[in-house]
Amino acid sequence: TFDVCYEQLFFVGGNWK
């Protein structure tokens, strides 16, 4: 889902929004 993609992207960046 879109949420998962967004979650992974932020996690990889190291900045949880």
Structure confidence at residue 1 (pLDDT): 54
The pTM of this model reads 0.07
Three-state DSSP class for 1?
coil
* Collapsed DSSP state (helix, strand, coil) of residue 15: coil
Under 8 Å between Cβ of 8 and 2: no
pLDDT of 1-17, one tens digit each?
556 666 666 665 555 55
Cα distances (angstroms) measured from residue 9 to each of 1, 12:
13, 5
Q: Which two tokens stand for residue 2?
A: 């879109």
Four-point Cα dihedral 16, 12, 10, 6, nearest 10: -140
Give the pLDDT confidence score for residue 4 in this predicted structure.
Answer: 65
Within 10 angstroms of residue 7's Cβ, the number of other Cβ atoms is 13
